[in-house]
Homo-oligomer: A and B are copies of this chain.
Amino acid sequence: MAFNSFGKLLKVTTYGESHGTAIGGVIDGFPAGLKIDLEAIQNELNRRKPGQSKIVTQRKEPDTVEFLSGIFEEKTTGTSIGFIIRNTNQKSKDYNHNTNVYRPSHADYTYDKKFGGRDYRGGGRSSARETANWVVAGALAKQLIASMEINAFTSSVGDIFIDKPYQDLDFSKTENNIVRCPDESSADKMIAKIQEIRKAGDTIGGTITCVAQNIPVGLGEPIFNKLHAELGKAMLSINAVKGFEFGSGFCGAKMKGSEHNDIFNADGSTESNLSGGIQGGISNGMDIYFRVAFKPVATIMTNQQTINSDYEVREITGKGRHDPCVVPRAVPIVEAMTALVLADFWLLNKTRKI
């Protein structure tokens, strides 16, 4: 069934609670013979790790990945790749006050009802700490499909949006600022916004846009494994995500066919690209682009009313070290999940015609 697995031919299966011993996973189906750059993987983890700047959680955790199998003499062997990231900086006592109390808009209540109990320390399995596993797997996938370029970036924080099409942005600037927005003037405003929100003990939502370029024609399957459906599922799997749109997205729903159709150029490319690089669920070689909506983090530093597991009304105030906005740290996660989806379909495509 694979409740904790993602992918078809290239499949990652994960485990781990935020305050358990370790998180980790198994990557199955990775082809043999690829030289792996381990440092590049750790670099991706560093982009996601806590404590990296003043606008993210101040928790310090090195998030060092250890590979346990499947890579020998620097190359993949074709056997399953086990990896582990030890948890080193859990302050479980930050959560003692929550043992019995359901934090609003968290997964506490639903886990408790579903499973008849839960690991209450830091969200347990529902913690976004899990996404470090995905970044490891995604970083490996990126190396498998090295010719494809995947660039995600923060496209809005609250009501501050980049007011340019992605074609006018220079993705090499994304890492130049701590909010991961390639448009410098927008970045400054976003950072100021997050700092203001943090000081108020509050949190704020935002969006990430992802652009995948240099994509071969033919990725994706016609019916239930449409490329955009798998991308959508991948994005909606990320904690705090509330929406996904690709190409023309929700705006497309207001348009007429005569406006929306992408007319072919003589070389098979299209003049416009409202399709977002995907037609009939299959990549057409144009840029793939999509947008992901993140709600504000549910843990806020101000008082909220709630209930406990005995249905008694309680007051709760966030403790611990939390992100005022998840978006900057989610950028590498969006890229990782995109890489996993693309690599899986790329591998699969080797089997789809004789």
Contacts and interface: CB of A to CB of B under 8 A. Distances in A.
Interface of A: 1-6, 8-9, 11, 13-17, 20-26, 28-29, 31-34, 66-70, 72, 75, 77-82, 84, 102, 104-107, 109-111, 113-119, 124-126, 130, 144, 156, 158-159, 197, 202-207, 217-218, 220-226, 228-230, 232-233, 236-237, 242-250, 252-268, 270, 274-276, 278-284, 293-300, 302, 304-307, 311-313, 347-354
A226 B222 contact: no
Nearest to A105: B261
Given A2-B28, A202-B258, A244-B244, 20 more contacts: A9-B351, A13-B13, A15-B70, A20-B68, A20-B69, A21-B66, A21-B69, A32-B117, A77-B118, A77-B119, A104-B270, A105-B279, A110-B218, A158-B254, A159-B254, A197-B256, A206-B253, A242-B245, A243-B252, A257-B297
A130 B31 CA distance: 20
A70 to B, nearest CB: 6
A197 to B, nearest CB: 7
User: How many copies of this chain are found per oligomer?
Assistant: 4
Given A13-B28, A110-B218, A261-B298, A280 B244 contact: no
The 9 closest A-B pairs by CB, nearest first: A107-B280, A15-B82, A243-B245, A203-B257, A110-B282, A114-B218, A32-B115, A229-B236, A78-B115
B68 A109 contact: no
A1 B78 contact: no
A8 B15 contact: no
A99 B165 CA distance: 36
Contacts of A20: 68-69, 72
Given A125-B77, A205-B260, A82 B254 contact: no
A240 to B, nearest CB: 9
Nearest to A197: B256
